[in-house]
């Protein structure tokens, strides 16, 4: 988050939590809980950041795509043959990687929600918990998540539930202590009134 006043940070976090409530409701309906709201925000934040174009990678590969199909020295017959092969391979014209460009509000929300991971530093092994939670939110391989979180334990389903519970717990505690937001009725959140 940017350097903003506590009131602005609280209003912004509450709006993000409302959005998270919509995500959790769409996923679980009436079974959604406050922990689902926070977890769905985290999952969406990882997804948005992963879809954001990597400018550095684009700059490094920019010299490799000069020329295109109609390179100098290519005859008309060669171009027709390439198009015929593309057609027989069921490739559409302009078939390629689809670009997605998240909206500015999505990126701001994603970065703000990922900043909440700093509250996981209160854990006994914060790096393990944070890395495992990010891998789990990304939808990563269960074996990888277990190796990140508890390399000495046997992999089981309870480890993933423990990662989610601990991560969400630290975030809810941070929201309460640092920003002044607590769970309210249903899956909503409210400001702490003094």
Q: Sorting pLDDT into bands at 50, 70 and 90, what band is 4?
A: low
pTM: 0.73
Least confident window among 20-24, 124-128, 165-169: 124-128
Q: Are 21 and 37 in contact (CB under 8 A)?
A: yes
Spatial neighbors of 1 by CB under 8 A, at least 6 apart, are 9, 12, 111, 112, 115
The two tokens of residue 75 are 């005859």
Note the pLDDT tens digit of each residue in 101-139.
667 788 899 999 999 999 999 888 888 889 989 989 988
Note the pLDDT tens digit of each residue in 59-118.
555 554 445 555 556 677 887 887 777 777 666 655 555 556 667 788 899 999 999 999
- pLDDT at residue 1, rounded to an integer: 45
Dihedrals phi, psi of 28, to nearest 5 degrees: -115, -10
Cite the DSSP H helix spans in the chain: 6-28, 34-51, 55-61, 76-88, 104-115, 126-137, 142-149, 157-174
């Amino acid at each position: 988050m940017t350097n903003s006043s506590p009131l602005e940070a609280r209003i912004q976090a509450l709006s993000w939590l409302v959005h998270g409530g919509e995500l959790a409701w769409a996923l679980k309906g009436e079974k959604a809980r406050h922990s689902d709201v926070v977890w769905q925000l985290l999952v969406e934040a990882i997804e948005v950041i992963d879809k954001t174009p990597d400018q550095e990678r684009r700059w490094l590969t920019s010299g490799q795509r000069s020329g295109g199909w109609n390179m100098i020295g290519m005859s008309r017959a060669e171009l027709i043959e390439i198009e015929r092969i593309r057609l027989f391979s069921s490739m559409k014209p302009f078939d390629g990687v689809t670009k997605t460009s998240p909206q500015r509000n999505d990126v701001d929300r994603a970065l703000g929600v990922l900043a909440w991971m700093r509250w996981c530093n209160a854990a006994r092994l914060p790096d393990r918990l944070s890395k495992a939670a990010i891998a789990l939110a990304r939808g990563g391989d269960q074996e990888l998540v277990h190796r990140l979180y508890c390399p000495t334990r046997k992999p089981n389903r309870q480890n993933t539930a423990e990662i989610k519970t601990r991560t969400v717990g630290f975030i809810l505690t941070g929201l309460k202590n640092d920003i002044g937001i607590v769970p309210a009725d249903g899956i909503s959140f409210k400001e702490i009134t003094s």
